[in-house]
Structure 1
Amino acid sequence: MTDGSRWTLRGTPFEEREFTNLWFLATATYGVGDVVTTIALIHFSDTVNEANVLVRVAVETFGQAGLVGLKLVVLLACLAISVAAANDEDAFTYYLPPLALAVVGAFTTTYNVRLLLG
């Protein structure tokens, strides 16, 4: 398909509203919650260091833009996987990326808030 229709949900068994809700949740937890709390930890905590080596290197090299860029790359890659899976009618791979990001984002956001308060 060269007309770009492979990157839509048209003709798949999945609903756009459900897709939007799943990706809103993933973006809110992983893309916003984790990023905001990580930036707060980086700037306001003298005792906490970033545990993820890739994130640490990105922040040391590019600052906050490195963190945001890395998170954006992960979000877009997962989004592409999910949409491709929808076109292949693969429900497991369609649901896995946004749900995994939401779980990881909720956990890291909660953990970061705990570190900020502790």
Structure 2
Amino acid sequence: MMATARPEWLHLDGSPFEEDSFRNVWLLALATYGVGDIVTTITIAYFSRIHVEANPIVNLSIDLFGGGGFLAMKLLVFYLCLGISIWAGRLEDDRLLFYGPPIFLALVGTVITGINLGLLFS
């Protein structure tokens, strides 16, 4: 059997947090912010004739760089929040900073996906 290598800092050994809870909250954030928000925003931006993107930062990134700019912006936010969460779990043992970023992304993703779906189906 072949062993897998992982960076020294990329584990939760010795912290009060479970890997399962970490995975679950980040899967929720990925589903809502990473998939739901991205798919519905791209649908509105590219395929809706009666709606425009209301967020000026998203609108600017799409205007300047297309869909790739939008995805890069979303990845930047996602990885920033992931880094904060890993840092809090590994070094600080801070529950708020450990669970806060993915829960925040999940809430934002759920709200924006809901708004976008409401616009698309109205």
The one-character-per-residue Cα deviations of 1:26-78 (angstroms, maximum 9, x if unpaired) are: 00000000000001001221221111111111100111111111111100000
- Of the structure 1 ranges 45-54 and 14-23, higher mean CA displacement relative to structure 2 is found in 45-54
Q: Percent identity?
A: 44
1:90 to 2:87 alignment: no
Following the alignment from structure 2 to structure 1, what is the Cα–Cα distance between the partners of residues 93 and 40?
36
TM-score by length of 1: 0.93
Could you tell me how far 1:6 is from its partner in structure 2?
3.2
Could you tell me how far 1:80 is from its partner in structure 2?
0.2
CA RMSD of aligned residues (A): 1.3
Match of 1:68 among 68, 71, 78: 71
**Correspondence 1:36-75 to 2 at 5 A:** 36-75=39-78
Following the alignment from structure 2 to structure 1, what is the Cα–Cα distance between the partners of residues 58 and 10?
29
**SS of the counterpart of 1:10?**
coil
Could you tell me how far 1:24 is from its partner in structure 2?
0.2
Could you tell me how far 1:114 is from its partner in structure 2?
0.6
**SS of the counterpart of 1:49?**
coil
Q: Confirm or deny: 8 A CA contact 1:82 1:93 kept in the other structure.
A: yes
- Of the structure 1 ranges 96-105 and 42-51, higher mean CA displacement relative to structure 2 is found in 42-51
1:33 to 2:36 alignment: yes
**Correspondence 1:95-106 to 2 at 5 A:** 95-106=99-110
Equivalent pairs, count: 116
- Gap runs ≥5 in structure 1: none
Equivalent position amino acid for 2:112 in 1: T
Q: Confirm or deny: 8 A CA contact 1:7 1:84 kept in the other structure.
A: no
When Rg is computed on C-alpha atoms for both structures, the one with the higher figure is: 2
